[in-house]
A and B are shown apart, each in its own frame.
Chain A
Amino acid sequence: MGLIRNETTKKVGEVTVTAVLRSEDGSELEKAYTIVPVGGIRPGEPAPFSIDSSTPVNEVASIDWSVDASPGNDISRNFDVRVYDQIPYGVNEYKGIPREDKSYPYVLSTGIRNYGQNINTAKLVVAWLNQNNEVVWIETTSLSEAFSDGVKQDGSANFKDIVIEDKKIGSLLNNSQYMIWVVGE
């Protein structure tokens, strides 16, 4: 997991990150790639990515990274993002109210106000960072069912809650900062 940054002077559309894994003798072990979940990245703006490979870590001596981007398009990014609640993992009470979700997962409850054009759908991407500003987790969520008809200009909408049941990850997120992106189409 990591962050890319748009260091061009223009908004870019879809971004592909490629990692070529190499052995000690420089030979290519595997080529892995991923599409960055945030489109329409503005100049200077970072965006998260997560990339998987099947090669055992101990066989990898070096990684060659490359990034390709398509031109910016009409992806809407003009939203005010609201975090309604960030409920820590493992706590049985939140804001003085006993929790009903008895497994006490980590929950991030969010919404938007659409200050751009009408949109049919939207995606919210969250990256959590540790104290060294390293990405430790990424999640994506979509609009709640009640907003499946889209969101008009100046409308508000909620996203489906991000719920992390895993104890190790939930505990990690409790102590992490987060960055949020919203992409509408």
Chain B
Amino acid sequence: MKKSRFLILTFTFLLTIGPITNAASAAKFGSGPLDDVFDAANYEAQYISDLTTNELAAIILAITWPEAAGGSTSVTPSPMTLSRGDGHSGLWSFENRSSSNSYKRAFWHPGIGLWQIDSAGFARELGAHDRINSAVAAPVVADEIAASWESSIGTDSERRNEVWQPWYACNNGACEDIFQQIYDSSNDSLNISRDYSVSSMGGMEETYCNTTYSYNTFTCYKIDPSQAEGYTGSWIYSPYEGDTSDGIPSPLTYSFWSYVQYSDEHRHWLGPDTGYNIDIRAIRDTADNARGNLLWYNSSYLCPEGNCPN
């Protein structure tokens, strides 16, 4: 663990009686993810002389509503948010973006989670489950923002604009507007309302898996959009099979299983979950951008909780 007990306790103090309010105008955010963001911001802020924990937390938080909730702070961004805005043909099962594809909802979403971490950008090593789990994703995002903040020069507003550059939805001041809404620099306070119905895992299920060729178990995750916590209107909508003409919106995946092993990200779509007559798996080398670099197979060897494919 990087953090000391003392720091965590200090942080809890801040959350309890300090800057968080429950005013009607407060931006809504999941309780579990909020703890994760503060934890991450608190750690990074130790090393940054010109940012407080709350200010850094606000920079991190401001990204999530434009990226995962359509820009509205009156709803709680869903940690499970799966991107629907990239129609690259390589992301469609068997790289087949056509109406003849019978397995459209075995779709590899490239951007995932509150910060829509993408395999083309930073943190390519993360699997889908890591990007959903804000306890994993928040420290990664905080580290990236801190690294960019410390390298940048200019006014605070200009520097925020630079650190938000990796997030397209922040363009045109979207994140700055929210930053100003949720952070009061006069007393270093935040205006956030906790949504206790949203956890760090966002509805994702952690369990164990083995394979048909090994009884050795490892941690795997079931990602089922129907179990997503938080606001899902920005990503769960029809047409669920996507638009094959230009790929946008992309399909919405059926539930799938996620894990990372030996520097490969695995996603498995099993017949009982999808209703398809085949199992499907796709693999990405974690060094690679998913677009054009996925390997697709019409079978699976994954055994969630000991239940192997037929």
Q: List residues of chain A with CB under 8 Å of any chain B CB.
A: 80, 82-86, 93-97, 100, 109, 111, 113, 144-152, 154-158, 177
Nearest CB in chain B to that of A84: its residue: B166
What are 26 pairs between A and B in contact, CB < 8 Å?
Answer: A80-B122, A82-B121, A84-B120, A84-B166, A84-B167, A94-B85, A96-B248, A96-B249, A97-B85, A97-B171, A109-B168, A111-B166, A113-B122, A113-B144, A113-B147, A144-B162, A144-B165, A146-B153, A147-B153, A147-B162, A155-B151, A156-B144, A156-B148, A158-B148, A158-B162, A158-B165
Q: A82-B122, A111-B166 are in contact. List 8 more A-B contacts (CB 8 A).
A: A84-B121, A95-B85, A96-B85, A111-B165, A113-B122, A144-B162, A146-B152, A147-B162
Indicate which residue in B83, B120, B162, B172 contacts A82 across the interface (CB closer than 8 Å): B120
Nearest CB in chain B to that of A159: its residue: B165
Taking a contact as CB atoms under 8 Å apart, the answer to whether B289 and A83 are in contact is yes
Q: Which of B84, B152, B171, B289 has the most CB of A within 10 A?
A: B152
Render B147-167 as a binary contact track against A, CB cut-off 8 A, 1 for contact.
Answer: 110111110001101100111
Nearest CB in chain B to that of A96: its residue: B85
CA distance A147 to B249 in the complex (A): 36
A-contacting residues, B82-103, CB 8 Å: 83-86
Q: Which of A80, A156, A157, A158 has the most CB of B within 10 A?
A: A156
Q: List residues of chain B with CB under 8 Å of any chain A CB.
A: 83-86, 111, 120-122, 144, 147-148, 150-154, 158-159, 161-162, 165-169, 171-172, 248-249, 289, 292
Taking a contact as CB atoms under 8 Å apart, the answer to whether A97 and B169 are in contact is yes
CA distance A82 to B158 in the complex (A): 21
CA distance A157 to B144 in the complex (A): 10
Taking a contact as CB atoms under 8 Å apart, the answer to whether A155 and B147 are in contact is yes
Cβ–Cβ < 8 Å partners of B151 in chain A: 147, 149-152, 155-157
Cβ–Cβ < 8 Å partners of A144 in chain B: 162, 165
B81 to chain A, nearest CB (A): 12
CA distance A83 to B120 in the complex (A): 5
A87 to chain B, nearest CB (A): 8
CA distance A74 to B85 in the complex (A): 42
Cβ–Cβ < 8 Å partners of A146 in chain B: 152-154, 158-159, 161-162
Nearest CB in chain B to that of A145: its residue: B154
Taking a contact as CB atoms under 8 Å apart, the answer to whether A95 and B86 are in contact is yes
Nearest CB in chain A to that of B235: its residue: A96
Nearest CB in chain A to that of B171: its residue: A100
Ranked 6 nearest A-B pairs via Cβ:
A95-B85, A155-B151, A96-B85, A156-B147, A156-B148, A146-B152
User: Given A84-B165, A95-B85, A96-B249, do A154 and B147 touch, yes or no (CB 8 Å)?
Assistant: yes
Taking a contact as CB atoms under 8 Å apart, the answer to whether B122 and A155 are in contact is no
B252 to chain A, nearest CB (A): 13
Cβ–Cβ < 8 Å partners of B249 in chain A: 96
User: Given A156-B151, A157-B151, do A82 and B166 touch, yes or no (CB 8 Å)?
Assistant: yes
CA distance A133 to B127 in the complex (A): 30
User: Given A146-B158, A158-B162, do A95 and B168 touch, yes or no (CB 8 Å)?
Assistant: yes
Indicate which residue in A83, A96, A97, A157 contacts B121 across the interface (CB closer than 8 Å): A83
A147 to chain B, nearest CB (A): 6
Cβ–Cβ < 8 Å partners of A93 in chain B: 248
CA distance A129 to B131 in the complex (A): 31
CA distance A105 to B99 in the complex (A): 29
